[in-house]
Amino acid sequence: MKYRWIDSPVGPLLLAADGGGLRYVAFAEGKHPVAPGPGWEEDAAFVEEPARQLQAYFEGQLKEFDLKLNPVGTPFQEQVWKALAEIPYGHTVSYLELARSIGRPAACRAVGAANGLNPLSIVLPCHRVIGSDGSLTGYGGGLHIKEALLRLEGCRLF
């Protein structure tokens, strides 16, 4: 695994990738912080393109990431994460809508749990998932970061 830390408007982010693609975009702090593991090698060049695209996103110049991704999870988690990628920039969906989009309308809590374990924050936009009542609920980096990302994208917040 190759990694680097980048500074961002929402705090330090860990980018990590292997030969299969980008594995992590993780907050340094929060509910599920990720730190470099044993055998990980710092290599800024290996994750240069994800860093460039994230910078463009934060500058408002990129609305859709074009990266080779390699998140690892259960088949259900990977199904949820794939559905996250379909949520357009500047839009939000509820957990129920996300559950319906994968054909599992009764699995709202499981979808929420999978969303919370998304290893590719921002790139797989779990920040675009909100409560059915429009409230900002749960986010691994903290609700203040979720709100900041949604405001960056021009989302109307209640």
Which one of the listed residues 126, 130, 145, 152 is annotated catalytic?
A: 126
* Residue whose C-alpha is closest to residue 81's, from 50, 102, 106: 102
Query: 151: which 2 tokens?
Result: 């405001």
Q: Cβ neighbours of residue 75 under 8 Å, at least 6 residues apart?
A: none
Query: 123: which 2 tokens?
Result: 């790139």
HSE-CB for 120 with a 13 A CA cutoff: 26
Active site residue 155: no
State how far the Cα of 25 lies from the Cα of 43, in Å rounded to an integer. 15
Torsion sign, CA atoms 80, 89, 96, 115: positive
The answer to whether 111 touches 74, Cβ cutoff 8 Å, is no
Catalytic residues: 126
